[in-house]
Every structure is written in C-alpha cells, then in structure tokens.
Amino acid sequence: MKLRVVLFLAAAIAVARAAGQHGTLIRPEALHVTPGASSQTLLTVERGRDMVLLEAARNDEQGWSKVFVTLAEGESRREVTGWLLSKGLVVASTPNADQIIFGEAVDSEAQAEQRGGRKGAATDAMRLYYRVWDIFPQSPLAPEALWRSADIRWQLEKADLRSRPSSPGADPDLRPPMDDSLMKQIISKFPGTRWADLAAYEMIDNKLCREWNGLARCPESEAELYANYARDHPASPKSAEALYNAAWRQAVLADIYRISNVPERSSKARQEALALARKIVALSPDPGDWKPRALDLIYVIEQGIHVYGAQTD
C-alpha cells in the first residue's frame, strides 16, 4: 500500500512538472468528461493530435491526464478539454520522446503501405511526424520529420486531386494546385539541405500536365523544369531522377516532332536527350539504377526505337 502511494506521488510530481507541456498520443484514447473509464466519452483522440497537459489524477488504479486537445482539419479548428489515460500520452519531458513519436510515425507509415493496414494510418503518420518537429524543433530528427509529414500530406492531396473528375485538363494552370505551404516551410527553415532539395522536387508536381495529348508543349516545359532542377540542386538525391525525366521527355519530343514532320526540332530534341542521358552516366557517385536506365535510353535513342506512341516498322 505504501509503495503504491509512493509511486503515485512520484508520478504526480512528474505530471505536475510536465503540466503545461505540449504532447501527443501514440495510441488512440477516449477523451472522458471526468477521470474514469465509466465517465461519459466526449470523443476518441487519434495518434498525433496536438494537446497540452493540464493536470493529472489517479482513478481505477490507472493514471489519468487532463488535456486540452486541438483538433485541426484543414481550415477548421476545434478545441476540447477532457481526461484520457496517461499511458499513451507522450509529452516534451518524456525521456526519448522525439524518438518514441518518430518511431510511432514510422510504424504508422509502414502500416499505411501494407495491404489491409490500419485505416487512417497515413494521416496518423503525417500528424505524428509533424509533432516531432512541432514539439522538438531542436531534435536531430526534426528536419526529416517535417519533410516526411509534408511528403505524406502532398501524396494524399495528390491522390485526392487525381480522383476528382473536375481536374483532368492538360494545363496545370487550369487545375487547383496542391497546397505547398509545408514544402515552402521546409525550404525556408532548412535551406541547402537534402530536405529542401526533396521539397523543391516534389513541388514540380504542381507544374506538370496530367495528359500530353500528343502535343509538344507539355513535355517541352516539363523537360526544362527537370533540367533546371538538376542544375540548381546538383547534390539532391533526386538529381539523377530529374536528369532522367528531362532526357526521357526530350526523347519523347523527338518522336512527337518526327510524327509532326518537324525533322530539325526532332533532331535537336534527340541530341538534347542524349546529352542529358550521358550526364547521368558520368555522375559520381554512381546514381544506382539511373545509370543503366540512362544507358538503356541512350541505346533506344541511338537505334531509333520509339519511346512515345506506337512503334511502327
């Protein structure tokens, strides 16, 4: 009995010190009106939601925390106060809290990638990564966590936009762009880092056409975008991919111009494609799969094999 009292007092002191700190959940928990599983449930709080610890109590032999939860969904924002079980709550003063939250985010991301994985796991991961950055801006994991959060948000929004029938058009200016505020935040907070390079690469998506419709305008502008990216971000992990994308689009242009009976432009695009592909082959350190893919593209261009449209004899 004495031991229980001592343990509770120690926990209460720890919570008193932690009061006012921001934290988040690494397991979903029900938010109650009063500390106790039998009290009225207000809602279930998911992983990664922002909350402030207000006070602690003990009931049913379990630790309870009174928290102020912020529920933000896009533009809308709601704030709720209630009690939840303490054990799933990680606050700034929890030892290794940044690692614990980051680990839960990685776990959720892995779940999202699995067939039959947990529903909502991708948004859990997005929120959890954001919390690492939000609560621990000085953590060595913070820049990567912010990048991963932004990337998941970007991919979810991209998938959502693609599924909308209202945004087919070839012209990127005619469809709603994806929200790039987080990407811009990464570029401004961590300039010159790989995270800024990755964010800049992702943002190219907003300038790409959905369909080319056999016209030269889109691949022309896209080849330029990728070539510029590779020139401006030579140390980026996406540099070889950008060069390949530029080279491949030039190879496509060679086919489009040939079909349109513009041989000079076709020849120029072919030379441009070969020059870009050769840059990939010469990259050091070895860019992995991009080197054989570039050599394959060089062979295809040199042999006059078509890369776009039907192959005709």
Partner 1 sequence: MFLRSWQFLLVAALAAFISSSLFAADTERGTVIREAQLYVTPDPTAQKVGTVTRGRDIYFVMGRSNIDGKEWAHVVARVEAGLMSAKDISGWIDNKLLITPNTPNGDQIIYGEAADSENQAEQRGGRKHAAEDAMRLYYRLSEYFPNSPLAGEALWRAADIRWQLEKEGILIRPSARELSPDMRTQIDDETMKQVLKKFPHTKWADLAAYDMLDNKLCFDWKGEAHCPEKESDIYEHYAHEHPQSPKAPEALYNAAWRQAALVDIYKSNRENDKAEHARKKGLALAQELQAQHPDGDWKARATNLSYALEQSLTVYGSGAANAQ
Distance of closest approach, residue 294 Cβ to partner 1, in angstroms: 7
Residue number with CB closer to partner 1 (256 or 297): 297
Q: Does 93 bind partner 1 (CB under 8 A)?
A: no
Structure tokens at 266: 């076709």
Q: Does 172 bind partner 1 (CB under 8 A)?
A: no
Residue number with CB closer to partner 1 (20 or 304): 304
Q: Does 155 bind partner 1 (CB under 8 A)?
A: no
Contacts by 33-36, CB closer than 8 A, 24 or more apart: 33/82, 33/83, 34/83, 35/59, 35/64, 35/66, 35/83, 36/60, 36/64, 36/83
Give how many residues touch partner 1 by CB under 8 A: 34
d(CA 110, CA 146): 17
Q: Does 234 bind partner 1 (CB under 8 A)?
A: no
Q: Does 90 bind partner 1 (CB under 8 A)?
A: yes
Residues 37-56 that bind partner 1 (CB under 8 A): none
Task: Say what angle helices 142-163 and 97-113 make with each other, to 10 degrees.
Answer: 30
CB-based contact 65:22 (threshold 8 Å)? no
Q: Does 8 bind partner 1 (CB under 8 A)?
A: no
Label residue 81 exposed, middle or buried (CB < 10 Å: 0-12, 13-18, 19+). Answer: middle
CB-based contact 88:25 (threshold 8 Å)? yes
Distance of closest approach, residue 100 Cβ to partner 1, in angstroms: 5
Helix (H, G, I), strand (E, B) or coil at 79: strand
Q: Does 111 bind partner 1 (CB under 8 A)?
A: yes
Residue number with CB closer to partner 1 (106 or 216): 106
Among 55, 58, 103, 175, binds partner 1 (CB under 8 A): 103
Question: Given 3-state DSSP classes, what are the helix, strand and coil percentages for the chain, each rounded to the nearest 5?
Answer: 55, 15, 30
Range in contact with partner 1 (rule: CB under 8 A) among 50-58, 74-82, 212-220, 289-297 = 289-297
Residue number with CB closer to partner 1 (76 or 303): 303
Q: Does 286 bind partner 1 (CB under 8 A)?
A: no
200 closest CA partner among 247, 245, 154:
154
59 — phi, psi (to 5°)? Answer: -155, 150
Range in contact with partner 1 (rule: CB under 8 A) among 32-40, 88-96, 176-184, 210-218 = 88-96
Distance of closest approach, residue 271 Cβ to partner 1, in angstroms: 19
Q: Does 14 bind partner 1 (CB under 8 A)?
A: no
Label residue 276 exposed, middle or buried (CB < 10 Å: 0-12, 13-18, 19+). Answer: buried
Helix (H) or strand (E) holding 289: none
Residue number with CB closer to partner 1 (76 or 163): 163
Q: Does 12 bind partner 1 (CB under 8 A)?
A: no
Q: What is the dihedral of CA 118, 103, 140, 85, to 10 degrees?
A: 90
Distance of closest approach, residue 181 Cβ to partner 1, in angstroms: 26
Distance of closest approach, residue 102 Cβ to partner 1, in angstroms: 4
Tell me which residues touch partner 1 (CB under 8 A). 26-28, 87-88, 90, 94, 96, 99-104, 106-107, 111, 118, 141, 289, 291-297, 299-300, 303-305, 311, 313
